[in-house]
Chains A and B, each alone.
Chain A
Amino acid sequence: SAVISQKPSRDICQRGTSLTIQCQVDSQVTMMFWYRQQPGQSLTLIATANQGSEATYESGFVIDKFPISRPNLTFSTLTVSNMSPEDSSIYLCSVVPLYGYTFGSGTRLTVV
């Protein structure tokens, strides 16, 4: 299965600033997915990132707040912009190599 390197693993950020999360996959994949997991909650899909096209955002998530880049088939970034304490969550990227989704180890974000 694919191996995903996600960084940073955690960060503490000031409100109003932005953080960019990176995911690097060890193989080429068509789609990459970004999820958010708020404390004690399930995973919520933020957007689907396809190489060469605009990301597709789920209801409640907008590009201005969560811009995504997908420059090639092995890499994607998610930026959390103009952060507020409500953005404190774990952010995970995932891919579907062949069978089942593989997740990055997650980025634990705390906004103070």
Chain B
Amino acid sequence: GQQVMQIPQYQHVQEGEDFTTYCNSSTTLSNIQWYKQRPGGHPVFLIQLVKSGEVKKQKRLTFQFGEAKKNSSLHITATQTTDVGTYFCAGVSYNTDKLIFGTGTRLQVFP
């Protein structure tokens, strides 16, 4: 079945450093979504990418969808302590409406 992997599993950074998480799907995706889950919270939708090679920005966050629509990345510039949480990518394949979550990257930011 469809698998979505993310690396790294954990990332500890000093406040002000940049952070990137990478997402890879075993199948081609119709779209990819990114979610943030704070400790003790539920996943919160951040963004959806649909087009091959698409790049979207939200303030310090940059999201990219690969040309083959099988991989994606999230880059955070100058991290802040409020960025702490687990970031999940989640993909929807062409033949189903099911959203399959990646393994997640837990980000810890030290002040």
Residues of A at the B interface (CB closer than 8 Å) are: 1, 31, 33, 35, 42-45, 48, 58-59, 90, 92, 94, 96, 99-106
Contact = CB atoms under 8 A, between A and B. Distances in A.
Contacts of A45: 98-101
Contacts of A100: 33, 45, 47-48
Q: How large is the interface on B (under 10, 10 to 19, 20 to 34, 35 or more residues)?
A: 10 to 19
* Max count, chain B CB within 10 A of own CB: residue among A43, A45, A99, A106: A43
Interface of B: 1, 33, 35, 42-45, 47-48, 88, 90, 97-104
A45 to B, nearest CB: 6
9 contacts: A31-B97, A42-B103, A43-B90, A45-B101, A94-B99, A96-B99, A100-B47, A101-B33, A103-B42
B97 A96 contact: yes
Given A59-B1, A105-B42, A44 B101 contact: yes
